Amino acid sequence: MLLSLLLTASPDDAKAADAHFNRGVQLAARGDHVGSLAEFEAAYRLVPAWQVLFNLGVVRQKLAEPVPALEAFEAYLLQGGAEVPREKRQVVEQELVGLRKQVGEVVVRVEGGPAVIEVDGMERSAPRLYVLPGRHRVVARRDGESAAAELEVHRGERVVVALVAPAPPKPAVAEVVAPPAREEPVVLTPAPRPVEQPVAVVVAAPAAEAPTPWYGRWYVWAGAGAGLVVAGVVAGAAVAASRPRYDVRVETP
C-alpha cells in the first residue's frame, strides 16, 4: 500500500513510517483505536501517503469523531482520485452519507482576496468545514483585519455565512488652505469741527424811571444772564479747547 511513497522517501523515514503503519494495524485489530490512531498519524507525518487516510477515517469513526472522519475520507477520495479501488470508493461514499447526517456544514464566503478561516479558535483549511451541532464562532482574517460571526448549526444542516473584512483606513489627505486675503488699511479721518460763532451781548442803557427794588431792575438780571451767557461761551471754548484730537493711524496686517 505504501510502496509508491516509500520508494521516494528517505530510507530512515520510509522505514519508520512502515513500522508505525504496521503497528497501527495491529493495535486496531486488538480494538485499541486510540493507539492505532497515534501510529497512523505518525506514519502519515513521515510519509503522507493518501492510502493512510482511509485508515485514519476508519479509526476516527470508531472513536465517534465524525468531523475528522469525514475530512479523512473526503481527502482519501480527493487525493487518491482514479487510483482508489472501486470497491473501496463505494464503501467510503456510503460511510460519508451516514457521517454527514451527524454533523453540520459551514460555508464561509469572504469578499475580496483569500482569508484565513478559524472555527472556534482553530484554523481550518479543509474545502468543506464540518462542525458538530451547536453554536460556533467563525472568524476570517486577512491583512491584519478580521470579521467574525456567531451561528447555530444543526445536524445535517448547511449554513452559509458571508463575512466582510473591514476595509483598510484611507490615507490622510493634506488640506490646502488658502491664505486670508489682504485687507486694505482703514484710515480714520476726523470730521471737521464746526466753528463756534461768538455770541454778542448787547446791554441797553437803562431808561430813567422811578426807583425800584434791586431785584426788580432788569439790567441786574440781564447782567446776571449775560454773565451766564458769557460763562457758557467761555466754558464752551474751554471744552472745545480740551477736546482731544483724533490720532490718525494706518494699520496693516
Q: What is the pLDDT of residue 152?
A: 93
Shared domain for 219 and 130, answered yes or no, is no
Tell me if the pTM is above 0.85: no
Q: Among the three residues 48, 80, 100, which one is the final residue of a domain in this structure?
A: 100
Determine the angle formed by the axes of helices 50-62 and 66-80, rounding to 10 degrees: 160
Residues of the chain with pLDDT under 50: 1-2, 186-188, 199-205, 208-253
Which residue range(s) make up the domain with 136? 104-163
Q: Among the three residues 57, 79, 100, which one is the final residue of a domain in this structure?
A: 100
Per residue in 21-47, pLDDT tens?
A: 999 999 999 999 999 999 999 999 999
Shared domain for 33 and 53, answered yes or no, is yes
Shared domain for 130 and 96, answered yes or no, is no
Q: Measured between alpha carbons, how far is 140 from 125 in angstroms, rounded to an integer?
A: 12
240 contacts: CB under 8 Å, gap ≥ 6: 193, 196
Interstrand relation of 116-119 and 122-124 (parallel, antiparallel or unpaired): antiparallel
Counting Cβ atoms within 10 Å, is residue 122 exposed (0-12), middle (13-18) or buried (19+)? exposed
Q: What is the pLDDT of residue 163?
A: 80
* DSSP-assigned letters across all residues of 134-184: EEEEEEEEETTEEEEEEEEE-TT-EEEEEE-PPPPPPPP-PPP-PPPPPPP
Would you say residue 38 lies in a domain? Answer: yes
Domain holding 20: CATH number?
1.25.40.10
Shared domain for 84 and 137, answered yes or no, is no
**16 to 1, 12, 138: CA distances (angstroms):** 15, 6, 38
Grid coordinates belonging to 94: 456510503
Shared domain for 67 and 116, answered yes or no, is no
Shared domain for 17 and 45, answered yes or no, is yes
Task: State in Å, rounded, how far the first CA of the chain is from the last one.
Answer: 94
Sign of the Cα pseudo-torsion (209, 215, 218, 220, in order): positive
Shared domain for 14 and 89, answered yes or no, is yes
Total domain count, the chain: 3
Three-state DSSP at 232 gives helix
Would you say residue 170 lies in a domain? Answer: no
Q: What is the pLDDT of residue 22?
A: 96
Counting Cβ atoms within 10 Å, is residue 191 exposed (0-12), middle (13-18) or buried (19+)? exposed
